[in-house]
A and B are shown apart, each in its own frame.
Chain A
Amino acid sequence: MMRRLDSLFGRSPFEPLVEHARKVHQCVEMVRPIADAVLASDGEKCRQLQHEMSKTEYEADLLKDKVREALPHRYFLPVDREDIANFLRQMDRIADDAEDFAVASTLRTLRVPQELHADFLALVDKVVQVSEALLNVAEHLGQLQKEAFAGPEAQEVTQKIRQVCFMEWESDKLSRKLARHYYGLDSIDPITLIILEKLSRALSGIADHAENVGKNLRLMIIRK
């Protein structure tokens, strides 16, 4: 009869969750080359990179579906199914925002004023950092589950989540600095401004949703 007992254990949803997180970070990593291409006014490069980005975002969507398949209602999980669903949703939005960034970069070949370059790149780098920190946290999911979401591992992860939130705050500051900068310019092409606004919003979106993912993970650890 014990032979049947192995059918008692379902597939863990945590491994596919980490795979999805890795793919999402892949999307975010592409943001920097796209930003460089935008600032260099290289429209062709932007379109190329946008293609790749869309492909990667699609792969992330497939992985997202895989996670959902590993979450049938008959499974009894150590965390609330809602928490996992929210975690996944926010992760998905990171990938979506990264794709939005890529698409916005192809709307028009921009000529970004030189003074804005430093601030823009600072924001991009900070946002990519936030995503890296988040991936680092997500990688711990498997180990967390093994240690029943308790103990020093959980505490380390909670610390790291706090760091992610802090870095998101820093990225907010940078995005405001950039905005004040380009709104403060005496003369800037209005269409460039609109597109800069889109790009900036996409970047803030990435950081915001990354923070939300971290908060969801914290909920998973704390709840129950």
Chain B
Amino acid sequence: MTVFLLIFAVAAGFYMAWNIGANDCANAMGTVVGSGSVSLRKAIILAAIFEFAGAFLVGSSVADTIKGNIVPVESFASIQLFSLGMLAALLAASLWLNVATAMGQPVSTTHAIIGAVVGFAVLANGPGCVRWSQMGGIAASWVISPVVGALLAYLAYACVRRFVLNSRHPVFMARRAVPVAAGLVIFIMTMSVVFRGLPKLRLDMSLPQALLTSAAVAFVAGGAIWLNVRANRRHVLLKHRYAVIESWFGRLQLVTACYMAFAHGANDVANAIGPLAGAIEGLHKGTLTAKAPIPPWLLALGGLGIVMGLATYGYKVIESIGKRITEITPTRGFSAELGTATTVLVCSKLGLPISTTFVIVGAVMGVGMARGFAALDLRVIRKIFASWLVTIPISAVLSAILFQLLRVIAGR
């Protein structure tokens, strides 16, 4: 029975990861494919690489939170019950994701899984067992992260306007911007990997070490990109100036798209692997050490699931997005993606499971506030809030039901 449940759990976790890849990956690559800066094929490959890397190298903090910090295992009558609950949560979240997507409704994988985890725990042990202070912090981050995303995106686009579009030689400044911004992105990504990273891979550096390493990597990469930019420069006619600036930012947008995929992998892999880790430890070892680190092979499994989802279904979404959203030109896409990815990555390091979609909407608003878009329909915010209000209770209830079912089947 235990072996069967274990296999079932791994399958459920993989399925959840697949769902994440199928639904959410388009967030990163949609606009850069749409603006024509990169082909669909290359986008899929890059997305796969970076989603996996983000999941594997940075995903553990958030996974830890979902596994052990929302619902303490001690409150359960037996470890096996805890594991069953996590399994139920995985199934419930996946189910709701599929249903909502089929109905064309917006849905956040993060909200679904957290609602599900809270759902089965409340059914089993009553509301008192949930660590509400932790939940409060998470809920606060759901509200704060889009605001931060908006702020960063606003700053990014304001800088683009001030230092590139408004400068005396916009095309020259655009060329300059590419290695600088790329270097910044690489710096942040490297920092997220090496500062308190995976101890098993010796990526657990101290702050000064991490800063130095990241700076060095960023410098080298930025330098290489600068040389490439210089080799590709051409004299530009005044009337083509705008199109040329956008094309330079198109290359930069490729960097930020990979950055987004990385950040998304880091934050969302936990939605599948957190509960799975809890379920596996409980069923397999019979004990759960709250502080036990998530084994890298589990993170790799999650990363693989995401990549599979992207490769088998997600690419269709990428294609359809790019065709429809023409307003996000490379300068704006770059700003929004920079704001989103930085926010999501920082939250991932802090162990906060947030909804990347909320942050993206916030970032787009931020760019809008910097005069980036002709018109933004604020009604969408209402729809997204509605989806949040709907997802959490539904997945909670679903999870509770499935939990009961599993208890009956497992005879507990």
Name the CB-closest residue of B to A78.
B371
- B236 to chain A: closest CB distance in Å? 12
CA–CA, A7 to B364, complex, Å? 12
* Chain B, Cβ-Cβ closest to A156: B238
Say yes or no: A14 contacts B372, CB within 8 Å.
Answer: no
A48 surroundings in chain B (CB, below 8 A) = none
Instruction: Mark contacts of A126-155 with chain B using CB atoms, 8 A cut-off: 1 yes-contact digit, 0 otherwise.
Output: 000000000000000001011111111100
For the complex, would chain B's binding face be called helix, strand, loop or mixed by DSSP majority? helix
B244 located at the interface, meaning its Cβ lies under 8 Å from any Cβ of chain A in the complex: no
Contact between chains at B376 and A10 (CB < 8 Å): yes
Neighbouring B residues of A78 by C-beta, 8 Å: 368, 371-374
* In the bound complex, CA of A50 to CA of B187 (Å): 69
Give the interface size class of chain B: 35 or more
Q: B165, B167, B364: which contacts A8 (Cβ < 8 A)?
A: B364
B177 to chain A, nearest CB (A): 14
Per CB-CB distance, the 8 closest pairs between chain A and chain B, nearest first, are A12-B374, A10-B375, A78-B371, A151-B165, A76-B376, A10-B377, A6-B324, A150-B166
Question: Mind listing 22 A-B residue pairs with CB under 8 Å?
Answer: A1-B23, A1-B27, A1-B106, A2-B360, A3-B106, A3-B320, A4-B383, A5-B321, A5-B361, A8-B364, A10-B375, A10-B376, A12-B375, A76-B368, A77-B374, A145-B374, A146-B242, A147-B242, A148-B372, A151-B165, A151-B166, A151-B167
B152 to chain A, nearest CB (A): 17
Are A9 and B361 closer than 8 Å at their CB atoms?
no
Q: Number of A residues whose C-beta is below 8 Å from B? A: 32
Asked if B104 and A3 sit within 8 Å, CB to CB, the answer is yes
- Residue A201 at the chain B interface, CB threshold 8 Å: no
Q: Does B379 lie at the interface of the complex (its beta carbon under 8 Å from any beta carbon of A)?
A: yes
Nearest Cβ on chain A to B395's Cβ, whole angstroms? 15
Distance of A10 Cα from B327 Cα, bound (Å): 10
Assess whether B27 is in contact with A146, with CB atoms less than 8 Å apart: no
Interface residue A169 (Cβ < 8 Å from any Cβ of B): no
Query: Is A13 on the interface with B (CB-CB < 8 A)?
Result: yes
Tell yes or no: A180 within 8 A of B by CB. Answer: no
Instruction: Answer whether A74 and B378 are a contact pair too, CB < 8 Å, given A2-B26, A147-B165, A149-B371.
Output: yes
